[in-house]
Amino acid sequence: MEKHSCVGCGIKLQTNDPKALGYTTREDAQYCQRCYRIKHYGDFAPLKKHSVPSDEVFQAIAKLEGTILLVIDVTDIDSGLFTGIQRHCMNRDFIIVLTKFDLLPKTVTKQRIVGYLMSKLRDVPINVLGVATTSHQAKQGAKALVQEIKKLKIKRLITLGYANMGKSTLINAMLEKDDYLTISPYPHTTLEINQIEWAQGIIFDTPGIKIEHSFTDLFAFDELEKVQIRKAFKPKTYQLDSAQAFVLPNVGIVSVKPKDKASITLYFSDQYSIHRTKFDRLEAYCMKHEADDLYAIKARRIIQDQPIFDIVFKQLGWFYCVGEFEWIEVKTVYFDQVMQRKALI
């Protein structure tokens, strides 16, 4: 009997080795034991052990014909725009989907976000056919996306995106089947390219691309949900008139000194406890709260180049800064995942 693939994650099913991927107890099973336990028991422990090399994903996508469905978490838009596009997907057609749009403040318009997106892609040699937005669970926006795919007469779609951007959730919404593909709050749920037939043709669901030096790697597995943005932002604004420091547990420290009056607003998960302290008390705070390893990191200065700007910690959130600052210092082990940008919202 020819072995088929797990509907949930795409892995080839097998009945021989309970410790190997793809194991199931029945020849006619649709899901591997790993997906079955995720779906029915919320057992995410197996996700700790497996990820797919990004080069393998790109090589596989290069061999597939179809339009790329680039899925980007709008709350982490700068992570979603990765350089692998240029190397592996040059001159291909793209539809870009910005997920979690409903988690942004209501005042933020699609036009503003799409404008920022297209400015970042200006020199990337790809053909963008359209940009769509969906809600956190993709309930809102999925039908409009399907209609756009019909209008463009696209028969073959290939999902692409960093791990945990919501590709499988989006496909479930497009299929109008909430529990078809296996989804979880943790990365690397999809293990192999998963070919799915639907009314418009074929969708190839692909494993998520691994982010090197991801800040989420600095957290224990069971802490990841706390730092991921899964609810509408509840911004916290601080008025500053002296040097202050913000301690991001496990991640780093942002210290600032305003020239006059300034403000900083935090856009992070409301379950991620970022502590503010006066700069001259920072060392004592770090020693008391076991953050001395962060304090010991050599600080790097960020040169302010505009009056209103964001300091972005990719995968986590950002600081919205207003006013003039004498200096801004950042301490973190992954400085390549920190950036300054024109204020997004």
Query: Domain containing 122 — which CATH number?
Result: 3.40.50.300
The predicted pLDDT at position 2 comes to 43
Same domain, 106 and 189: yes
Q: Write out the chain's pLDDT in tens, 345 residues.
A: 345 788 877 888 888 888 888 778 888 888 888 877 777 766 666 555 556 677 788 888 888 899 999 999 999 999 877 666 667 888 899 999 999 999 999 889 999 999 999 998 888 889 999 999 999 877 789 999 999 999 999 999 999 888 777 888 888 888 888 766 655 555 556 667 888 888 889 998 888 888 888 898 899 877 888 998 989 999 999 999 999 999 999 999 999 999 988 999 999 999 999 999 999 999 999 999 989 999 999 999 999 989 999 999 999 999 999 999 999 999 999 999 999 999 998
Whether 122 maps to a domain, the answer reads: yes
- Domain end, chosen from 33, 49, 65, is at 49
Same domain, 280 and 328: yes
| Domain span at 295 | 236-342
Whether 274 maps to a domain, the answer reads: yes
Instruction: In whole angstroms, give the CA distance from residue 16 to residue 23.
Output: 7
Same domain, 31 and 92: no
Whether 119 maps to a domain, the answer reads: yes
The predicted pLDDT at position 161 comes to 86
Whether 224 maps to a domain, the answer reads: no
The predicted pLDDT at position 44 comes to 63
Q: How many distinct structural domains can be found in the chain? A: 3
The predicted pLDDT at position 300 comes to 96
Whether 229 maps to a domain, the answer reads: no
The predicted pLDDT at position 46 comes to 57
Identity of the amino acid at 310: D
Same domain, 66 and 99: yes
The predicted pLDDT at position 1 comes to 34
The predicted pLDDT at position 172 comes to 85
Whether 256 maps to a domain, the answer reads: yes
Let me know if 130 is exposed, middle or buried by CB neighbors in 10 A (0-12, 13-18, 19+).
middle
The predicted pLDDT at position 89 comes to 86
- Domain end, chosen from 176, 211, 246, is at 211
The predicted pLDDT at position 25 comes to 82
Whether 223 maps to a domain, the answer reads: no
Same domain, 63 and 126: yes
Whether 14 maps to a domain, the answer reads: yes
Same domain, 127 and 154: yes
Same domain, 90 and 198: yes
Same domain, 95 and 191: yes
Same domain, 24 and 135: no
Same domain, 151 and 241: no
The predicted pLDDT at position 184 comes to 59
Same domain, 45 and 55: no
Same domain, 44 and 69: no
